[in-house]
């Protein structure tokens, strides 16, 4: 990494000094991260798992077989990652590699020195403002430390496959993996918000997500119609379709494309985005004061609100019971976490 520096974008963008990742994280993602960060030793263990083996090996792999952006290679991409780091007040600019792959994709790898990899297909697909959104999304992953906890998901998934012959153990692990997959889907929604804060162009965010679903022929697509498609997906069919939607999510770490567009559109319109740009956001320096129980309750409220907004026939029949159960469970987990923190703080050792 190199030190973050100020660049001069094509248009004025607002810098967010000291911003905490909690400002843009989806409530369900934020609640999980606050709880995990509070567990002494867990963060260290998974940082070592991701840093010692995967991170070092993968960095060497991309260093040897991809193009690292810089002042003389993919200069525009270099400006985008520097701008995103500057605007989100990330201490260092992550390395960014472009790798030859026609499939449009991007990812952030590592924890101690996170770096970003984007495919040539993505670079060819998106325009400048859309690429700013995607690069900001990946910087958001680095700022939130998602790579550490994604390592947990990958490790447990592999473990579940190894014990598949043992039904009870497999079922338990699969339940944990499914919960982690649901968390990571919310992490993707978090980083869409980070991407919007970096690009500060809601139209570009919507276009980027739509183009990753439908390709480069933007003239033949409409963001408004795509949002209508999202509403149709949400409300379509009966309870059987609701079950099929859940089944389709199994094994997926990303939300459906129409859901991502609808979520970023809602977030841009409903106040939080403008409030943050106006300077009203939590600070990184206050992260240690974050309350686990409050974040757990926030996650419960988020799910309840999404169920109340939903027109899905399956959720129409179960939202009240599910919301009550989730809220009760979240408070219980939050209470246990807070007790654990109190016990550690009172331990003289």
What positions carry a catalytic annotation?
A: 138
Q: Are the beta carbons of 110 and 48 closer than 8 angstroms? A: no
Q: How many whole angstroms separate alpha carbon 248 and alpha carbon 274?
A: 34
Q: Which among 97, 131, 99, 102 is positioned nearest to 116, based on CA atoms?
A: 97
Q: Are the beta carbons of 18 and 285 closer than 8 angstroms? A: yes
Would you state the structure tokens that stand for residue 151, as one six-digit string?
A: 């390592």
**DSSP-H helix ranges across the chain:** 27-38, 42-48, 56-65, 75-87, 120-125, 128-144, 146-162, 167-199, 202-214, 223-235, 239-249, 257-269, 272-277, 292-309, 313-346
User: DSSP class of residue 95?
Assistant: P
DSSP-derived pairing of the beta strands 96-99 and 67-68: antiparallel
């Amino acid at each position: 990494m190199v030190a973050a520096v100020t660049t001069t974008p094509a248009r004025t963008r607002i810098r967010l000094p000291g911003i905490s990742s909690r400002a843009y994280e989806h409530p369900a993602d934020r609640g999980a991260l606050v709880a995990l960060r509070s567990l002494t030793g867990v963060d260290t263990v998974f940082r070592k798992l991701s840093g010692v083996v995967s991170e070092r090996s993968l960095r060497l792999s991309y260093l040897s077989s991809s193009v690292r952006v810089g002042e003389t290679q993919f200069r525009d991409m270099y400006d985008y990652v520097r701008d995103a780091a500057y605007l989100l007040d990330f201490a260092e600019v992550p390395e960014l590699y472009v790798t030859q792959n026609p499939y449009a994709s991007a990812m952030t790898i590592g924890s101690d020195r996170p770096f970003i990899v984007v495919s040539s297909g993505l670079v060819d697909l998106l325009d400048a403002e859309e690429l700013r959104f995607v690069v900001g999304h990946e910087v958001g992953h680095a700022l939130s430390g998602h790579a550490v906890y994604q390592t947990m998901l990958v490790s447990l998934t592999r473990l579940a496959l190894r014990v598949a012959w043992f039904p009870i153990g497999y079922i338990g692990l699969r339940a944990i993996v499914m919960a982690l997959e649901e968390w990571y889907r919310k992490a993707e929604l978090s980083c869409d918000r980070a991407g919007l804060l970096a690009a500060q162009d809601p139209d570009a965010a919507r276009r980027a997500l739509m183009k990753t679903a439908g390709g480069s022929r933007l003239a033949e697509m409409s963001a408004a119609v795509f949002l209508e498609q999202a509403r149709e997906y949400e409300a379509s069919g009966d309870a059987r379709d609701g079950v099929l939607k859940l089944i389709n999510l199994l094994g997926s770490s990303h939300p459906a494309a129409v859901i991502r567009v609808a979520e970023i559109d809602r977030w841009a319109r409903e106040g939080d985005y403008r409030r943050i740009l106006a300077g009203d956001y939590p600070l990184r320096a206050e992260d240690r004061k974050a309350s686990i129980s409050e974040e757990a309750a926030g996650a419960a409220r988020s799910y309840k609100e999404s169920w109340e907004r939903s027109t899905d026939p399956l959720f129409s029949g179960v939202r009240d019971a599910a919301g009550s159960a989730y809220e009760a469970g979240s408070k219980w987990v939050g209470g246990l976490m807070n007790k654990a923190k109190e016990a550690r703080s009172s331990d003289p050792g």
